[in-house]
């Protein structure tokens, strides 16, 4: 709790009015900062525990921070902030958290809810990350997390150095010749991919924000008062 003691009543009224004016700013900024620090702290650690973090930008795009709108907080008396996919719809009462970049991370939902991702056309190409055969590295863009064009299944499929093994009606694997006597497995072609629930960011975010909110609110409130003008 922050206490201000003033003897002069007029001065006291002005300071109280100033403090009340800064509350929406402090609440909005405090909540937003708590969410941001939680995303960059506890949530990132949880993400790395479940997934292999290939690049920082992909993590931020799939866990973008939508900050609380100060004007919304002033008008409605409620501050709203959250963590969202940058390609998902805007959260009412927030600013930012979205991108104009062409980006699709909807597949991440399956890791949270579980479910089956089916092929849109014939087969779904899934990068192979482990197995008995040597693995052909599938590189991704550091900006979007997308597989580079040179390593996409449709690009490799049409090259002379690649061939398919397996059944056309069942599971098949795209193999890549990388040397005279070296062959590596790149993609598995399947009808569908089953995702089990393995990632639950919500409780991690709630715990992190709860532990930080009081401190962040105080810091934002003091900052608001220190930058505000008091006319005597």
The pLDDT assigned to 230 comes to: 47
pLDDT of residue 225: 66
* Spatial distance between the Cα atoms of 28 and 66, rounded to a whole number of angstroms: 11
Instruction: Return the pLDDT at 118.
Output: 65
Look up residue 62 and give its two tokens.
């799939």
**Alpha-carbon separation of residue 94 from 32, 69, 118, 130, 221 (angstroms):** 9, 5, 34, 41, 19
Model pTM above 0.85: no
Q: Are 67 and 88 in contact (CB under 8 A)?
A: no
The pLDDT score that the predictor gives to residue 83 is 97
**Short-list 196, 141, 131, 187, CA closest to 163:** 187
- Alpha carbons 7 and 42: distance in angstroms, whole number: 45
87-128 confidence digits (pLDDT tens): 999 999 999 999 887 778 887 888 888 877 665 567 888 888
pLDDT recorded at residue 221 = 81
| pLDDT, position 132 | 72
pLDDT tens-place values along the chain, 232 residues long: 455 554 555 545 555 555 567 788 888 999 999 999 999 999 999 999 998 877 788 899 999 999 999 999 989 989 999 999 999 999 999 999 998 877 788 878 888 888 776 655 678 888 888 777 788 888 777 666 678 888 888 888 888 999 888 876 677 888 999 988 899 999 988 877 777 888 999 999 999 999 999 999 989 888 876 665 545 5
Residue 32 has what pLDDT?
96
| pLDDT number for residue 223 | 82
Q: CA–CA separation, 78 vs 93, rounded Å? A: 9
| CA–CA separation, 215 and 223 (whole Å) | 12
CA–CA separation, 78 and 61 (whole Å): 26
Q: Looking at the DSSP assignment, which residues form a beta bridge with residue 118?
A: 192
Q: Is 28 left (phi over 0), alpha (psi -120 to 50) or beta?
A: alpha
What is the predicted pLDDT for the residue at 119? 57
62 burial (CB, 10 Å; 0-12 / 13-18 / 19+) is: buried
């Amino acid at each position: 709790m922050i206490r201000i003691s003033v003897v002069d009543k007029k001065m006291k009224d002005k300071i109280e009015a100033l403090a009340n004016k800064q509350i929406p700013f402090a609440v909005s900024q405090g909540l937003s900062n708590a969410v941001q620090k939680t995303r960059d702290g506890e949530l990132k650690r949880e993400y790395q525990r479940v997934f292999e973090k290939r690049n920082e930008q992909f993590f931020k795009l799939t866990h973008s921070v939508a900050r609380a709108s100060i004007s919304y907080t002033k008008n409605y008396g409620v501050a709203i902030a959250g963590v969202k996919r940058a390609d998902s719809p805007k959260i009412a009462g927030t600013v930012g958290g979205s991108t104009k970049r062409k980006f699709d991370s909807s597949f991440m939902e399956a890791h949270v809810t579980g479910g089956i991702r089916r092929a849109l056309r014939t087969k779904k190409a899934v990068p192979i990350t482990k197995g008995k055969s040597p693995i052909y590295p599938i590189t991704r863009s550091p900006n979007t997390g997308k597989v580079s064009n040179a390593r996409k299944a449709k690009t490799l499929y049409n090259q002379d150095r690649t061939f398919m093994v397996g059944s056309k009606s069942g599971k098949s694997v795209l193999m890549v010749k990388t040397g005279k006597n070296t062959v590596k497995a790149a993609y598995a072609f399947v009808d569908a991919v089953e995702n089990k629930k393995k990632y639950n960011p919500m409780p991690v975010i709630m715990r992190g924000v709860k532990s930080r909110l009081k401190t962040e609110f105080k810091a934002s409130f003091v900052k608001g008062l220190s930058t505000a003008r008091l006319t005597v």
